[in-house]
Structure 1
Amino acid sequence: MPTPIRRARARVFVDASTVDLTGEDLVTEFAWDMTATGLVQADPDGDGARIVCGQEIGDIVVTAELWDAAPPLATDGWQDVAEVSVAWRSAFMDFATTGDGENPAAQLELPGPGDYRLRVHGRNRDDGDPRDDDALVEEYLIQVWPAPRAGPVTAKSTSRTAAAWRAR
């Protein structure tokens, strides 16, 4: 039975509609194309991935979990769920590099460099941009585990946001 090893959670400020998942160099510079999943894409050179959001600018919540093997697929309560493989070169995954005193940077410690699978879940992606103060917070769950490389997979896609990104 797969077991979660560690977890990190943070409120993340989104700018330019993306959450960058980065390694040691804290830069994810690659030409991105969300037509495969409408949710997440891995950097083809490794050590990075990008999640595309429904908001262009604003606060969201991101939770990242390291598992020892592929966790059970759970799509209930999520609008979109997709997986990609990444050849990670670092010992951590940073997902909130723009931390401040109120919202610190967040990192998920990894066992080390290697091939990993990322399963990203997203919800509240279609709730407006900019958001009203009483609107639901856009939220993402990233599950990470060691796994051989494989192509992108979309397990669920029901948001208008994902449909729009896939159509570009």
Structure 2
Amino acid sequence: MKAKIEIPLSRNKIIRLTIGSLLLVLAGVWLFSHAGNFRDMPLPFLRNPIVIKGFGVLGILFFGGTGIYGFRKIFDKRIGLILDSNGITDNSNASSIGLIEWSDISVITTKQVMSTKFLLINVTNPEKYIGKAKSGMKAKLMRSNMKIYGTPLSIISNTLKYDFGELEKLVQTEFERNKNVG
């Protein structure tokens, strides 16, 4: 590797995502407080106030969590993503684990869910990285990623000052350059 490549977090993107989470929390509060007003819904289960309140509570909890994470991330001074001779140091999302060594990476693939693209970092020993999780919630999130995608590690550009297509090329190029080194 020529030099260390640092990709900073995008405060603007994080602020927009946090505001979006706040708006969805407010929508959850609205659903909860207006649960009895859905008598004209075409599907019978959507007329049930308990179901509507359940959706409201789930929205408040999930988007409240993402909003808190986003608010904390706004003030995060760490670099979002670092590529160097050791590997990829990821601080881009809630399941980020820090350094992913080149020698542990077997393949890097791209996945798209709805409009969000992300890189899946397949490693030879996933449990090594799940074990690095500093909280039970992060470990659960990583195990969920493992079940769904076959790897606990993913990188998104939603919080980075970088275009996803360029990020994908850069990470693949650096992986090819460094996978047999060391």
- TM normalised by structure 2 equals 0.27
User: Could you say which structure has the larger radius of gyration?
Assistant: 2
Question: TM-score normalized by structure 1?
Answer: 0.29
Larger helix fraction of residues? 2
Greater relative CO (CA pairs within 8 A, separation 6+): 1
